């Protein structure tokens, strides 16, 4: 498995490189955003690890530009910026996971393996449709409609709604959503899942009398026509 590490701190980059080497991965290093972008777009990698604060091109813009060309390439953001707003901004840019510094190598390895497993195990079902009530999602074209009205979602909003559609009329805890949608453990000190649920409500429910996304106090969230 080939992994691209984009990190301007040479010490951190080489520590990650050694850790990945020891576990059978083939890592490549880049020390700025422009070099990282060139490597990412001109070579085949199974996963990218990138810092956010980078010289020449920051990690958020780098992630957005990679996503335009390689939408399915797994990306982990590795950064000292750990607030809810920072995490939401990273996920909105297209990151699949977000790990704050300082971190343990074994935790990074768990995140890497989870993303690679999900990426390699995904099946592309041509024209496959998920439906609930008047809400419809096309997994092939990535189009979402409600009562024939187009709904534009970010990649993370799409994944969250996809999971809710696959588990409609079942209460989903924050921990389950974190593990199944973000491949991470829920951090009770942040509320990024609630932030994304609110994003979905504004797009899926706001302009419709019938509400589909509901909170169950103390338990989690449910997709149900009420």
CATH for 129-223 is 1.10.10.10
Q: Please, which contacts does 213-216 make with residues 24 or more away whose CB atoms are closer than 8 Å?
A: 213/164, 216/171
Q: What are the pLDDT digits (tens) for 184-196?
A: 665 655 688 899 9
Residue 95 confidence (pLDDT) above 60: yes
What pLDDT is attached to residue 121? 47
By percentage, how much of the chain surpasses pLDDT 90? 37
Residue 99 confidence (pLDDT) above 80: yes
For residues 203-212, average pLDDT: 91
Residue extent(s) of CATH 3.40.50.2300 domains in the chain: 2-121
What pLDDT is attached to residue 113? 85
Would you say 154 and 195 are in contact if contact means Cβ atoms under 8 Å apart?
no
| Nearest partner of 115 among 48, 61, 176, 203, judged by Cα | 48
**Residue 97 CA neighbour count, 13 Å, CB half:** 28
Residue 123 confidence (pLDDT) above 50: no
User: Between the CA of residue 70 and those of 77, 159, 210, 226, what are the distances in Å?
Assistant: 16, 17, 37, 39
Q: What are the pLDDT digits (tens) for 132-185?
A: 888 999 887 888 999 889 999 988 899 899 999 988 888 999 888 888 887 766
Q: What are the pLDDT digits (tens) for 197-206?
A: 999 999 999 8
More confident residue, 92 or 37: 37
**Euclidean distance between CA atoms 207 and 148, whole angstroms:** 13
Residue extent(s) of CATH 1.10.10.10 domains in the chain: 129-223
Residue 119 confidence (pLDDT) above 80: no
Considering 12-21, 90-99, 175-184, the range whose residues carry the highest mean pLDDT is 12-21
User: Between the CA of residue 187 and those of 91, 109, 158, 182, 212, what are the distances in Å?
Assistant: 15, 18, 21, 12, 26
Pairing relation of β-strands 129-132 and 135-138? antiparallel
Mean confidence (pLDDT) of the chain: 85
CATH for 2-121 is 3.40.50.2300
What pLDDT is attached to residue 122? 43
More confident residue, 158 or 88: 158
What pLDDT is attached to residue 126? 36
């Amino acid at each position: 498995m080939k992994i691209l590490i984009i990190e301007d701190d040479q010490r951190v980059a080489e520590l990650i490189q050694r850790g990945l080497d020891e576990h059978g991965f083939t890592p490549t290093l880049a020390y700025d955003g422009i070099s990282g972008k060139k490597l990412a777009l001109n070579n085949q990698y199974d996963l990218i690890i990138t810092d956010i604060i980078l010289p020449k091109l920051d990690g958020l813009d780098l992630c957005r530009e990679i996503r335009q060309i390689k939408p399915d390439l797994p990306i982990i953001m590795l950064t000292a910026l750990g607030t809810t707003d920072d995490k939401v901004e990273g996920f909105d840019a297209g990151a699949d996971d977000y790990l704050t510094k300082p971190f343990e190598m074994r935790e990074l390895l768990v995140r890497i393996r989870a993303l690679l497993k999900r990426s390699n195990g995904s099946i592309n079902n041509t024209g496959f449709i998920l439906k609930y009530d008047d809400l419809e999602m096309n997994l092939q074209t990535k189009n979402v409609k409600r009562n024939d009205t187009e709904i534009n979602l970010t990649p993370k909003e799409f994944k969250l709604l996809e999971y809710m559609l696959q588990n409609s009329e079942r209460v989903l805890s924050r921990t389950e959503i974190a593990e199944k949608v973000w491949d991470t453990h829920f951090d009770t000190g942040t509320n990024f899942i609630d932030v994304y649920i609110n994003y979905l409500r504004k797009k899926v429910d706001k302009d419709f009398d019938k509400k589909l996304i509901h909170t169950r106090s103390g338990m989690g969230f449910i997709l149900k026509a009420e």
